[in-house]
Amino acid sequence: MDPIGASDTWQYVPYHNSVVEINGKPMPSVSGGTRWGGGLWINSRDEARFGYLFLRQGKWEGKQLISEEWVKKATTRGGPGPDYGYLWWLNTEKKAWPDVPATSYAAIGAGSNIIWIDPEHDLVVVWRWHNGNPNELFKRILSAIQP
């Protein structure tokens, strides 16, 4: 996170009862977000920077931090279904967000925290703890920026 200018406030917090032993070493395991007390605690700015890293195919200020091939694989439909990559929700069939490009994708956490990436419009949107309709928000953002 240092190379992308993220803060030093984000942290991975395991649940008190989520540590398992692997090869004699205690390893924390968290299945969800911080809503239940464990997971990745991160601010919106750091989420946006992470999203921007993916929007730029793993590059930051001209330096390749994550391989472009891995970013492509992570955001391509895979085993669990046509709408899921490697921890990224995809819009390949336009079921999640019918009014936005099929090439858009998102990281979605507990509380519906979203990092939405739209490569066609060079756009990253972070939406935190909402109780709304993501498709409607994304559609409105796109209508506001399109001529």
- Predicted confidence (pLDDT) per residue in 109-130, tens digit: 877 789 999 999 999 999 987 7
DSSP, collapsed to helix, strand or coil, labels residue 57 as: coil
pLDDT in tens, 6-48: 999 988 777 777 788 899 998 887 665 555 666 778 899 999 9
Structural domains in the chain, sorted by start:
44-145 (3.40.710.10)
pTM of the model: 0.84
Tens of pLDDT, residue by residue over 48-88, are 999 999 999 999 999 999 999 999 999 998 877 789 888 89
Amino acid at 76: T
pLDDT at residue number 20: 84
Nearest CA among 74, 54, 73 for reference residue 64: 54
